[in-house]
Amino acid sequence: MKIFALVLLVAACGPGAAGGPNVSTRFNEDPDSDPEIQSNDILAREPTTNRSQVKHILVSWAGMGKVYKGNQDARGKARSREQADQLATSLLARVRAGEDMDQLMREFSEDGGSAQSGTSYEVKPDAALVFEFRRLGLRLKVGEAGLVKSVYGWHIMKRVE
pLDDT of residue 70: 86
* pLDDT for the residue numbered 34: 76
The reported pLDDT for the residue numbered 33 is: 63
DSSP annotation of 88 reads H
Q: How far apart are CA 156 and CA 89, in angstroms?
A: 8
* pLDDT, position 32: 59
What are the structural domains, with CATH classification, of the chain? 40-159 (3.10.50.40)
pLDDT for res 65: 85
pLDDT score for 1: 45
Tell me the backbone φ, ψ of residue 90, rounded to 5 degrees: -65, -45
Q: What is the pLDDT of residue 118?
A: 94
Residues of the chain with pLDDT under 70: 1-33
63 dihedral zone (left: phi>0; alpha: psi -120 to 50; beta): left
